[in-house]
Structure formats: structure tokens, C-alpha cells
Amino acid sequence: MQKGNNVLEISFISDNNALNRSKEYLYTLFVPDRASTVFPCFDQPDLKAVYTLNLSVPKTWIAVSNSSLAKIDRSANNKTLRFNKTALISTYHFAFAAGEFQKLSRTKNGRTLNFYHRQTNKKKIAHNIDEIFDLHFKAIDWMEEYTGIPYPFEKLDFVAIPSFQFSGMEHVDAIFYRESRLFLSKSATTEEKMQRAMVISHETSHMWFGDLVTMKWFDDVWLKEVFANFIAAKMVKPFFPNVNQNLYFINTHFPRAYMIDRTKGTHPIKQKLENLLYAGTLYGKIIYDKAPIMMVKLERLMGKDSLREGLKQYLNTYRFGNADWSDLIKILDKRTDIDLQDWSSVWVEQAGMPHISSDYTLENNKIISFSVFQDDLLGKNRIWKQNLTLLYSKNGEMYYYYLFLDSNRFDIKLIEGMDNPDFILINGDGYGYGYFELDPASQKYLLKNVCNIKYSDTRAFAYMALYQAVLNYKLSPVDFFKSIMCSLDKETEYQNIPLLLSFLRTTWWYFLTQKQRIDLANEMESILFQLIKLHQDKGLKSLLYQTLSSSFISKETTLRFYDIWKNKKDVNGLKLSSADYTKLAYELLVRNHPNSIDIANEQLSRITNEEQKLKLKFILPAVLPDEKSRDKFFKSLEKQENRQHEIWVRTALYYLNHPLWADKSVKYLRPSLEMLSEIQRTGDIFFPKNWLVYTVGRYSSTDAAKVVRTFLKEHPDYNKNLKAKILQFSDLLFRAEKIKEKYK
């Protein structure tokens, strides 16, 4: 190499993995480091560039990329599409999709959006299309108003892709979505509609947070994701005026964040990344759920206006460039008297959460002292400074006490002299973060009376506290399950029902023994059938059905569901979709239905969509009662080409490792763990996590726990990122082992 102009010639053969080829279409997915497998480049987010793209495609295909189409050169059978130069973008934001797509366009206030899709159901298109466009227009308008920065790129196209690996991906000017996230059924629940609004708002906000300003290195990947989620929650709020948005935020983000943060594999929001090859392991619920909680706390500390003005300055300072968390903190620190560097060191740069408990002394049935305690579950003596709202309840009346917890102990003088309470919730407004341990008297009262509390928010916080008590070996899972059933029967707040159903499913499959499930099955199935019948809301009916159809075990309900599947009946007024009947066929197969072969063949004959038929053919060998078929299927996953459709693999693994087959399928667990490093190397960013969710994450037995412990013991030098993932998704397994032993 010499001073002046130099020419470097490279011979390069593109890898096919990141091109996601199907017979009728293909699409790229380069995040975080896959662009370099398709063309020579350095996959560093701080190395931005402009791109020009030429695509040679069959003459019936159309294509979309990061810039607009400049020219088409046609030949007899093919055509070459020539795109304009892109804006200055990182390699993982470069993308294109090509194939037999349909294109729809809408124009509003001089801005045109284009939507590319492969959906063939005309009724489903008509039912969804206006809302899909409207949500995108609203998201752009909201972001422009909030940031003060006009939409920073040339256009906005979006593409719905069947079986896309993620819910969405924010390529500059070309957002890719999983088709099922956009095209909802007529019976879609309010939660599903909100999830669609959230994913659209999330990906659109990335055009500013992530695309306009990008992190310097992937250890700050959370920085773009936290703003996308934090802002999406704000954006969606006015779209659903009848929904309690605070409760929605709490019911979704907090349980998900705790799911990881309570494990031995938890990690800081800002993680260290030494090798870009492991960038995919950084993604997860800490980034997507704990980080937005942290931002809400930061906003409460600083004030909404101060935070917003700081974010505007951040975007304008680093537009079309790169920045990290320290750059943002320096900007925000000047807008508050709080030491954000110190606050951030605990909340952002270190792992874990606090354990918060209380203790009070009674005399003559009056409180004479009351204290709140904070300790570090990881034994590092840290303090999580946060605002808390303590709720005191007596005879149905509730009183709230506000405190800023900035030490190991906080004495509440205002509560002294109050009557002996029915219950106390230290986290009375739901926005406190940590393991909030119930005092014994409150736990006893709530277990029996939570369903009678008049305020829906308070019921939700009590449900979470009781669930934490189960996880921490303070409460019998049978008693908790019965409390859930009582609450489901009486719960009037729509948003609390998904929360309860989630706790029901986890308790049912992980913490109850098979004998306990058999004893409770008829009651559980009867109540859920009855609730499906009683509720008029189609979305609510669907939620209840989804839990019932995945949890039934009695012979009576198995016969009833076979009749429903066979004769295409509704379920107590709920009309099932084609996808519902397919899932029901899987559930019947995994329960060893005597007509399994007929069920499989008939379900195949019912499906006319070629891609859906291919998906069913792929999954069926993993669901059939024939153990040899399942063994052969699992063996086939050793080959990378058989894992190409990761969404299909996830569904297959869900049934292959079903709790009802646990004693026979546990043999797949060790080889599944041995395959993990290759899964991480060859799969997309969420695949290693999903691989663990649907393998080790499906078990609750001592035998399975032993397999995981042995694997970790035999691999002391295992990659720390992957080891953390194993610990995260085996947490329920290890807890289930202890819970079953204690409450058998």
C-alpha cells in the first residue's frame, strides 16, 4: 500500500444464509453482522456509507430497497432494477426484498407510503389495510412533532413477509414485518391490535432512534431499542383511548423483564461486547422490557420536558452519525440536578434487581413502627434509587404513601397509628422495580381476597406479587392456581385477563405435578369453557380459548375438541380460523389421539395455501405420536438447511419438547445444548434464544435439570454470553424442581 490512490481487488463468493431465498421471493436480513456474508464490507455500525443497488430478477417480480427505483432495463425473461443512491447508513440497515409481491400505496398530506405483501385472502386484506397504513402515517406525524425533526429519509416502504424471523426490522426506508403481525383476524383481541400498533410505532420510531442516529458499537444496541419501545408506548396511548395505558405498560414490561432479571444469567442493560460475532446474544427482554422501565424512571426523575429537550439535542447533534449512552448522559446531565452518572451505573451498567420487603410492629392492633428494606439479590450491596408508592388497605379503603427509596432502610412515620391492615403492597402503583416480598399477613389475605379488590390496577399488582411469592418458594402453586381460577371468574378488567392466563399456563405446566394437574383439570377446563361462553368480546373469547386449547388434559375435553376439529365447529360462540384448526390438530396429536394419522392427513388436505401446506408438512413429523418420526425430525435439525425457516422450527420444537412428552423427549435436551453454539453462529439474532425457549425452556423435571447442570459443569469455559442464555431459560426448570419438591 502506498500513499495516494490504491486499488484493491477482491474475489468474493456470497453466502446464501442472509438472503432468505424462497421459490417466489427472497429478502435480506443483515442485522447484526451478516452484510459481510453477501458483499465485502466491515460490519461496524459506526462505519456508515451510501449504497447503489442493481437487481436482476424474473420479469414478474418487483423489489423494494432503501432508496427509490431509478430505472428498469428489460430483457426477454428478466429485468434489471436500478435503485438510486441511499442515504448514509450502517451495513445492517441495508436491505432489499424481491419477489412476487403485491404493491399497495396510500397518500396523505403529500406523503406516499408503499406496502408490499403476499397475502392472498382478499377479505383479510380489506379488513386490515386501512389500519396498517393509518398507523404508519400517525407514527410518522407523532415522531416529527415529538422530535422536531421532519422524517429524515427519502421515503417509507414496508414489506409483510411470511415467517419473517422478527416481528419487524427497521431497515432505512424499507421496514420488514412478519406478515402475521400486520394481518389480524376479525376476532383479534385488543391486545393483538395494540401489539400491532406497538410494532409499527416501534419500527417507525427507529427511523430517528437507530437509523438517523446509530450506536457506535453493538454493546449500545439497547440504546436504539429502548427509545423505540419507550416512545412507542407514548405513541400508541392516544390510539386506544379506552385502554388503561399505564396498566398495559406495567402488565407487559414488568413480568417480561423479571423473567430474565431474576435469573443467574441476567445481565446489565448495557452489555460489553468484545466480538461482533456474539452481537445477537445481546438482544432480549432486558433490552426490550427493563430498559423502557428504566427510561420511565429517568423521565420521572428529570421531568418529561427536560428529557424530551435532551433527546432533541441528542438527535440534532449526532444526526446521520453515531453516538453511545455516555454521549446522551452528558447531554441529559446538564438538564437535571440529579447525578445521572451515579444513577446510571446501577440501573444501566450493572445487572440485577433489588429485593424490597417490609416489616411492621403492632401494639393494641395498631401499627407502632413500619419500615421498608432494600437488599441486593446478587450480594453487591447496591442501592436502586427509585420512587415507590406504598399502598395500605383496611376494610376496602386504600391509602397511598409516597417515598423515594435511596437507602437500605426507610421508616414511614405517617403510617404509625394506623389499624392493623388487611394488606399492604409496597409497590402500590406498579412502577416500582424489583422483587417485592409480601409480608405473611398480606399474602394470606390477598390469596383469598384478591379477586374481590375493587380497583383493577391493585388487583394486577397483587397478582404479580403472589406470582413472585410462588417463584420464591413462599406460596404453594396449588393455592395460587386456585386463586387464579377465582380471579378469572370475577375479573372485569380486560387487560388483567392475559396476565392471569399467563400465570395460569406457567403454573400449570411448570409448577404442578401431573397428579395435581389431573386433580384440577376438570375444574379448570369447565371454568374456561364457561368463560368463553359468557364473555361477548370476541378477542377475550379467543384469549381464553388459546389457553384452554393448549392446556386441556382430560379425556372429556379431548373428545370435545376432536369433535370441534373434525366438524369445524365453533367453541361456545367463538368461530375458529384455519390457523386455529391447524393448532388444534397439533394439540390433539401431542395428546396421542387414536386417530392421529387421520387427523394429520385431513388437516393437510384442508390447506390450500402452498406455503402453509409446506409449513405443516415440515412440522408434522415433530408432532406425530410415532417416536421414531420425532427422533428423525430432531436429527434432521443438525443440518443447517433444515433450520432455514426458523419460525417453523420454533413451532416444531414447541411440540417436540411438549410437557406431555417430557419423559420421552428429554433425550433431545443434551444434543440441543450441544448444538447451541452452531445455532448462534448460523442463525438470526433471536434464534439462539428461541432455540433455548423451546428446548430447555419446555422442561420442569429433575431429570432435565440434571442434564443442564451436567452440561454446564462439563463446559466451564463455555462462551459467557451463551452460558447466560442457558441460565436464563433454565431458570423456570430449576425453580420448578425446588417448588415441586417443597409442595409435592
Task: Give the least confident one: 522-526, 678-682, 693-697.
Answer: 678-682
Is residue 366 within 8 A of residue 340, CB to CB? The reply is no
Structure confidence at residue 76 as a pLDDT band (50, 70, 90): confident
Query: Look-up: residue for cell 406470582?
Result: 467
DSSP one-letter string for 394-431: ETTEEEEEEEEE-SSEEE-GGGTTPBPPSEEESSTTS-
> Given the DSSP bridges, would you call strands 354-363 and 366-376 parallel, antiparallel or unpaired?
antiparallel
Structure confidence at residue 685 as a pLDDT band (50, 70, 90): confident
Kindly report, residue by residue over 247-262, the tens digit of the pLDDT. 999 999 999 999 999 9
Q: What Cα–Cα distance (Å) separates residue 133 from each residue in 130, 144, 196?
A: 5, 17, 12
Q: What's the full length of the chain, in residues?
A: 744
Kindly provide the b/e burial profile for residues 513-546, where b requires at least 16 CB atoms within 10 angstroms of the residue's own CB: beebbeebbeebbebbbebbeebeebbbbbbbbb
Kindly report, residue by residue over 512-556, the tens digit of the pLDDT. 999 999 999 999 999 999 999 999 888 899 999 999 999 999 999
Is the pLDDT confidence value at 611 over 90? no
Residue 744 makes CB contacts below 8 A (sequence gap 6+) with 513
DSSP one-letter string for 247-314: HHHHHHHHHHHHHHHTSTT---SS---S-GGGGGGG-SHIIIIIHHHHHHHHHHHH-HHHHHHHHHHH
C-alpha to C-alpha distance for 182 and 370, rounded to whole angstroms: 50
Distance, first Cα to last Cα, the chain: 72
Q: What angle do CA 76, 80, 86 make, to 5 degrees?
A: 170
Residue 548 makes CB contacts below 8 A (sequence gap 6+) with 525, 528, 529, 532, 557
Domain ranges in the chain? Answer: 17-205, 213-347, 358-432+434-485, 657-744
The mean per-residue pLDDT over the stretch 172-198 comes to 92
Same fold: 17-205 with 213-347:
no
C-alpha to C-alpha distance for 686 and 697, rounded to whole angstroms: 15
Kindly report, residue by residue over 441-491, the tens digit of the pLDDT. 999 999 999 999 999 999 999 999 999 999 999 999 999 999 999 999 899
Average pLDDT, the chain: 94
Architecture of the domain spanning 213-347: Orthogonal Bundle (1.10)
Structure confidence at residue 278 as a pLDDT band (50, 70, 90): confident
Q: What angle do CA 253, 392, 447 make, to 5 degrees?
A: 65
* Secondary structure, 3-state, 317-360: HCCCEEECHHHHHHHHHCCCCCCHHHHHHHHCCCCCCEEEEEEE
pTM of structure: 0.90
Q: What angle do CA 664, 667, 669 make, to 5 degrees?
A: 120
**What was the pLDDT predicted at 312?**
97
**What was the pLDDT predicted at 202?**
96
Strand, helix or coil at 42?
coil
Tell me whether residue 324 is exposed, middle or buried, using C-beta atoms within 10 angstroms of its C-beta: 0 to 12, 13 to 18, 19 or more: middle
DSSP one-letter string for 182-250: HS--TT--HHHHHHHHHHHHHHHHTTTBTTTEEESSGGGHHHHHHHHHHHHHHHHGGG-TTS-HHHHHH
Distance of CA 92 to the CA centre of its chain: 21
C-alpha to C-alpha distance for 36 and 30, rounded to whole angstroms: 8
What phi and psi, each to the nearest 5 degrees, are found at residue 166?
A: -115, 170
Indicate the CATH number for domain 17-205.
Answer: 3.30.2010.30
Is the pLDDT confidence value at 1 over 70? no
* Max Cα–Cα distance, the chain, nearest Å: 95
